[in-house]
Every structure is written in structure tokens, then in C-alpha cells.
């Protein structure tokens, strides 16, 4: 008897799944667990999302959501943000960490948005990556979640799970992104990156699972006897 992702016997733990079986199983299981993929960062438009994602660097989404209401109450658009001093912005966002760099980036990118894009966030990856404080991952998140364009933002958590699940051997998030895009159809990228994050936080944490504990790890690799080492980016 076969399922959409291999023989029942394989899923019961007889042997490890092949890569194609892992891809199909992971895709189906994550869609079952997380049919809805709410954006974890509170925002009201592309600009506030951009600022929230920038603030989330080396900071939890929960902390960002605690900080942004006070910031957006004062300035929820580029033209309002440039009226605030860098020092005031820094004071508000300090709990998010890296506030000296982030406050300068927020102020300067707001100036650039006004100077070059009429105060609007451009739906363009290259343009976004030229903004201060905006790297490839931040730009990818904005493209996916603000504009619905297919990207696959990869952070260290997705990088870790992808290696545990045998989806990549990449030594960097760039290589992992490339491999994930090859493995899954573009129509799934935007939701899938959030589903992997949700699963990683709930079941396959850095310390709570070593590649042999959570459901997906055990199903994909039932014969794995040792902790899965992964290439840290």
C-alpha cells in the first residue's frame, strides 16, 4: 500500500524515507498542522512591516510586537518617521537590541523612501536590499508577506530544520534557500517558510530536538541513531 509520500511500512519506521518522499511528507504534514499562516509581526502596511522585520534581527517577534505600538503611534509612515530624531527612535526600540544601528537605519531608509519612491516601499527585491539595515532575508519577508510575491526567506531556524530533514547540505542560508526553492513549488514558498518556523518553534527547537525527537525528524529518519550535526551559517 502506498501513500502520497511512500509506503506505509516506510512511515512506520522500517527505513528512512527517500528525498522525494521526505519532501512530499513534510509538505503535507506542515499544511495539515498549520493550514493558516498568520504573519507573526504586527503591522498595518508594507512600511510598518518593513520596520518590524528590520527590528526582528536578533530579537524575538514577541519583543518586536511589544515595542512597535509605541513607535508606530508616533510614526507609522516614512514622512512621519523622518520627523523623529534618531535618538528618540533609539530610545523606543532599545528593548529590541542593536538600537544604535537600527535607529539610524530606520531614519535613513525612511529618507530614501521619500527621496526615491514617494514614501512607499517598493515591491522590488533589488531596491529593498539597497536600503540601510535591509538584507536579503528582510527583503524576502517583505516581498512575500507585504506583496505576495514568491520568495523563500531563510533564517537560521529554517536552515537548521532543513538540514535535519535532509532537504539541504548547504553551508549558508543562501545555499539552503536555493535548495528549498528547488524542492518545493513557488506556490508554496511563502506559506512554507512560515510553517517551518512555526514547527521549529513548537516541536523541533534547537535544544529540544537533535534530529531524532520530533515527529517529522522521526518519520523522515526512523533509523537515525546519532544527533544530526548541521552546518551552521
Determine which one of 36, 137, 181, 232 is catalytic. Answer: 137
Q: Which residue, 163, 232, 210, 198, is CA-closest to 22?
A: 163
Q: Which residue, 93, 92, 180, 105, is CA-closest to 135?
A: 105
Q: Please give the grid coordinates belonging to residue 66.
A: 511589544
Determine which one of 155, 179, 225, 232 is catalytic. Answer: 155
Q: What CA–CA distance (Å, rounded) separates 192 from 196?
A: 6
Catalytic residue list contains 137: yes
Under a CB-based contact definition with an 8 Å cutoff, are residues 17 and 224 in contact? no
Under a CB-based contact definition with an 8 Å cutoff, are residues 119 and 113 in contact? yes
Q: Which residue, 124, 131, 89, is CA-closest to 110?
A: 131
Instruction: Give catalytic residues, as residue numbers.
Output: 137, 155
Amino acid at each position: 500500500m502506498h501513500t502520497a509520500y511512500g509506503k506505509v511500512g516506510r512511515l512506520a519506521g522500517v527505513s528512512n524515507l527517500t528525498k522525494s518522499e521526505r519532501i512530499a511528507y513534510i509538505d503535507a504534514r506542515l499544511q495539515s498542522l498549520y493550514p493558516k499562516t498568520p504573519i507573526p509581526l504586527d503591522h498595518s502596511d508594507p512600511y510598518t512591516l518593513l520596520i518590524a522585520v528590520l527590528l526582528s534581527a536578533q530579537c524575538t517577534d514577541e519583543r518586536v510586537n511589544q515595542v512597535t505600538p509605541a513607535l508606530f503611534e508616533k510614526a507609522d509612515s516614512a514622512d512621519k518617521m523622518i520627523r523623529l530624531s534618531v535618538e528618540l527612535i533609539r530610545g523606543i526600540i532599545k528593548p529590541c537590541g542593536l538600537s544604535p544601528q537600527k535607529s539610524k537605519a530606520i531614519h535613513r531608509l525612511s529618507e530614501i523612501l521619500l527621496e526615491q519612491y514617494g514614501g512607499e516601499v517598493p515591491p522590488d527585491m533589488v531596491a529593498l536590499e539597497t536600503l540601510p539595515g535591509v538584507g536579503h532575508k528582510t527583503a524576502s519577508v517583505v516581498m512575500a508577506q507585504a506583496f505576495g510575491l514568491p520568495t523563500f526567506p531563510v533564517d537560521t531556524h529554517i536552515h537548521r530544520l532543513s538540514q535535519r530533514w535532509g532537504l539541504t547540505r548547504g553551508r549558508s542560508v543562501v545555499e539552503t534557500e536555493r535548495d528549498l526553492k528547488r524542492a518545493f513549488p513557488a506556490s508554496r514558498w511563502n506559506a512554507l517558510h512560515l510553517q517551518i518556523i512555526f514547527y521549529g518553534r513548537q516541536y523541533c527547537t534547537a535544544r529540544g530536538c537533535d534530529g531524532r525527537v520530533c515527529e517529522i525528524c522521526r518519520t523522515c529518519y526512523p533509523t537515525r541513531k546519532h544527533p544530526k550535526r548541521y552546518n551552521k551559517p
